[in-house]
């Protein structure tokens, strides 16, 4: 985003709503030097028919966010409800009429040399328009990365910790440099973990299989959404178990899922076709259902949607001015 565009976007920063161009931190900030922040990615889906923005599984994202701040011993003066309210207000202030992506970030603020976690943290949230993060209109070419997924006792992948995303950046960049769309990462045991910034499922014998929480994955909210809609809408159960690299080569279907990635079919792994190379039939059905769910077209899942047109608590708005 250019500095000029940033002037027209509002961010939440240091307890106030300010132009994104003014939401800046000092270069000595601990999080900038050592990656000591935790973050979230939340999507807002704009429904053109109802002219409503729906934030998807907002509460669950902030519950995970607050849990993860504990890894870095942060104590934030916000509840999950406060953060939900601020997010809704942020979307309203920006007046978006297209799909958006929200990035809440809790970061260590101390301006000091030294890695120790000293007191001092803050939360910022910004939102930017975002369409597809990966192309969901075609199947993706994936490779198995030469970079291994972070081990839990190095930097916990489930923590969504800023510094840990160097691991993702290395894998995603290597994949693109080598002509692939995305990377699949193995853990140190040589078993499939997840994508660089997304979880992964495969279909075998009509069943969904995904890697378990102990395979160094982020416990994805889209992953749990997929499990629920597959069971409810398609009657397909999910098996949680380790996946071997070689099993990727013989899977009937494979797909990535995540807030950014949504549901994205994988057409090949290491240049070996998955199924017939197109997005598989179960993946395609899940994509269609997911799209209906996030746009508010399936009322039984409205529990997951936060519409942004309703006014939020006056106290939150007042506190932010």
- Cα–Cα–Cα angle for 170, 261, 84, nearest 5°? 105
Minimum distance of ligand PMP from residue 321's CB (angstroms) = 31
E strands in 65-170: 100-108, 121-129, 140-144
160 among known catalytic residues: yes
> What CA–CA distance (Å, rounded) separates 125 from 26?
17
Minimum distance of ligand PMP from residue 68's CB (angstroms) = 11
Give the distance between the most distant pair of CA atoms in the chain.
57
Tell which residue, 2, 9, 7, 1, has the closest CA to residue 94: 9
> What CA–CA distance (Å, rounded) separates 269 from 274?
7
| C-beta separation of 40 from 62 below 8 A | yes
The DSSP element (H or E) to which 183 belongs, if any, is strand 182-186
What token pair was written down for 145?
């990365």
What token pair was written down for 202?
């495969």
Task: Report DSSP letters for 52-71, one per residue.
Answer: EEEEETHHHHHHHHHHHHGG
SS3 213: helix
> What CA–CA distance (Å, rounded) separates 108 from 32?
9
Which one of 7, 93, 116, 160 is the catalytic residue? 160
Task: Give the binding site for ligand PMP (CB under 6 A).
Answer: 41, 157, 168, 194, 197-199, 218, 220-223, 258-259
The DSSP element (H or E) to which 259 belongs, if any, is none
Catalytic (active-site) positions: 160
């Amino acid at each position: 985003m250019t500095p000029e565009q940033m002037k027209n976007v509002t961010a939440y920063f240091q307890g106030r709503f300010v132009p994104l161009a003014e939401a800046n931190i000092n270069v000595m900030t601990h999080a900038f030097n050592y990656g000591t922040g935790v973050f979230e990615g939340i999507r807002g889906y704009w429904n053109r028919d109802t002219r409503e923005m729906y934030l998807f599984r907002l509460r669950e994202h902030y519950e995970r966010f607050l849990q993860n701040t504990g890894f870095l011993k942060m104590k934030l003066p916000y509840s999950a409800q406060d953060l939900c309210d601020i997010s809704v207000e942020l979307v309203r202030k920006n007046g978006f009429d297209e799909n958006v992506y929200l990035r809440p970030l809790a970061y260590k603020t101390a301006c000091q040399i030294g890695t120790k976690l000293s007191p001092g943290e803050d939360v910022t949230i910004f939102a930017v328009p975002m369409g597809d993060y990966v192309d969901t209109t075609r199947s993706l070419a994936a490779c198995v990365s030469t970079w291994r997924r972070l081990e839990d006792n190095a930097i916990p992948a489930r923590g969504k910790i800023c510094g840990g995303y160097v691991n993702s950046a290395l894998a995603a960049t290597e994949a693109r440099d080598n002509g692939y769309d995305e990377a699949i990462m193995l853990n140190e045991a040589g078993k499939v973990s997840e994508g660089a910034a997304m979880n992964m499922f495969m279909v075998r014998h009509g069943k969904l299989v995904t890697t378990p929480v102990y395979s160094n994955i982020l416990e994805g909210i889209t992953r749990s959404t997929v499990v629920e809609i597959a069971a409810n809408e398609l009657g397909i159960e999910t098996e949680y178990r380790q996946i071997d690299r070689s099993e990727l080569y013989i899977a009937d279907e494979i797909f990535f899922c995540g807030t950014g990635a949504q549901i994205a079919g994988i057409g090949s792994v290491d240049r070996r076709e998955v199924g017939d190379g197109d997005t598989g039939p179960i993946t395609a059905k899940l994509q269609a259902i997911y799209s209906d769910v996030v746009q508010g077209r399936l009322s039984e899942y409205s529990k997951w949607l936060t519409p942004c047109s309703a006014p939020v608590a006056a106290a939150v708005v007042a506190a932010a001015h």
